[in-house]
Amino acid sequence: MSQIAELNGGPGSIKLARSREPIVKANELLFVHFERPDIGKAEQYLLDFGLTVVAKSEGELFMRGTGSQPYIYRISIGPEARFLGLGLSVPTKEDLQKLSKASGRPVVPANTPGGGSVVHLRDPEGVAVDVLHGFVPNKPLPVRSAIPHNAPNQIVRVNDTQRPALEPPQVTKLGHLVLEAPDFDVSVRWYIDMLGFIPSDVMCLPDGALVGSFMRLDRGDEPTDHHTLFVTMGLESKVDHVAFEVVDLDAVEMGQQVLLANRYRHSWGVGRHLLGSQIFDYWRDPWGQKHEHYADGDLFDSSQEPGYHLLDRQGLYQWGPDLPDDFIDARLTLRRLWMVCKTAVRDKARLKKMLALKSSLSKPGRAWQG
């Protein structure tokens, strides 16, 4: 970033610093937790999406991927369809004690598959963040190898054919989730300072104001996903989507075929993201919640410094269909109208940033799509 650009503002003129001494460094994303009014309907969608049942009762459903996490998706029966929270792990029991001391919340036994101990945190927007240690991992399930592809300078298949099975893709893990927060600055700092997340790529308005951050776990020299959490400014606190890794492009595409056949609502894809590089495909569950299949994401170690980018549609993908207008829920409900009015009275600067954010995402991602 040149001195002229810094003086004139623009992406990178305002920095999002790492924490020098976070309370702990979370080392794994474990699960997401939703409330649903119909567990049977939720279970069928997740089976078609590629997850496997771990435990089920009248009031709870736990589902896993092929990895060693005891479960990656938890559903509790309830009157609403809503996001309840997420789970992370830490490397040591001493980490739980540090979190307990910093938050004033006790370390208690986890009464979920895998057991262990947990500290029940709340982020600044009230999202439940359960931090666990000492749980018993599952035995990983067999996973097919990525399908080798012939290329002009690489012949790997002769007298053979390419025939992926028409079946739900194997979900290997919960990869990331996207949280919207009205006060982005407060929320993003909480995840950085409390749980040790590292910014990978930071999204900015034209004047350099920060409105979103892709963040990864800090595992030192061990590479980890480009982002495990994306926090972005929004009108209300909610989860935009949850994302699950599959083996390769064929798994993404065959997953699309299965979900089309079962008449679920498609949201966006197939395409390749710019930041993170994942091949993606988004689907909505029976209550409209977006779920992503992805493959071939970037991996960074802790030495990689963050990039700063203008937030617009063009920066969301390299190839694929343009972002549909309904991908971002911009409906002005009574609740949101009330929040806009409160923000207009109490924090005009934040309202200005929200309006600028909305404007930046309203233009087509490619000039030929205008």
| DSSP 8-class letter at 116 | -
Report the distance separating Cα 167 and Cα 187, nearest Å: 39
89 has pLDDT over 90: yes
Return the CATH number of 24-141+164-369, one of 2.40.160.20, 1.10.10.10, 3.40.50.620, 3.10.180.10: 3.10.180.10
Conformational region of residue 66, where left means phi above 0, alpha means psi within -120 to 50, and beta covers everything else: alpha
Q: What is the mean pLDDT of residues 217-224?
A: 98
Q: What is the pLDDT of residue 22?
A: 98
Tens-digit pLDDT profile for residues 252-284? 999 999 999 999 999 999 999 999 999 999 999
Q: What is the pLDDT of residue 369?
A: 65
124 has pLDDT over 70: yes
Question: In terms of pLDDT, which residue wins out, 286 or 235?
Answer: 286
63 has pLDDT over 50: yes
Looking at the DSSP assignment, which residues form a beta bridge with residue 128? 85, 122
295 has pLDDT over 90: yes
| DSSP 8-class letter at 300 | E
Closest CA to 198 of 223, 172, 234: 223
Tens-digit pLDDT profile for residues 169-198? 999 999 999 999 999 999 999 999 999 999
Tens-digit pLDDT profile for residues 311-357? 988 889 999 999 998 887 765 566 666 565 666 666 667 767 766 66
| 238 phi and psi angles, rounded to 5 deg | -165, 170
Q: What is the DSSP string of 118-186?
A: EEEEE-TT--EEEEEESPPPPPPPP-PPPPP--BTTB---SS------SS-----EEEEEEEEESSHHH
Tens-digit pLDDT profile for residues 12-42? 999 999 999 999 999 999 999 999 999 999 9
Q: What is the pLDDT of residue 345?
A: 61
| pTM reported for the whole predicted model | 0.92
**C-beta of residue 100 within 8 angstroms of C-beta of residue 107:** yes
Report the distance separating Cα 210 and Cα 311, nearest Å: 9
Q: What is the pLDDT of residue 9?
A: 83
4 has pLDDT over 60: no
Reported as a pLDDT band with limits 50, 70 and 90, residue 2 is very low
In percent, how much of the chain has pLDDT > 90?
81
Q: What is the mean pLDDT of residues 292-303?
A: 98
Q: What is the pLDDT of residue 1?
A: 35
Output the 3-class SS for 10-72.
Answer: CCCCCCCCCCCCCCCCCCEEEEEEEEECCHHHHHHHHHHHCCEEEEECCCEEEEECCCCCCCC
Q: What is the pLDDT of residue 41?
A: 98
**C-beta of residue 28 within 8 angstroms of C-beta of residue 88:** yes
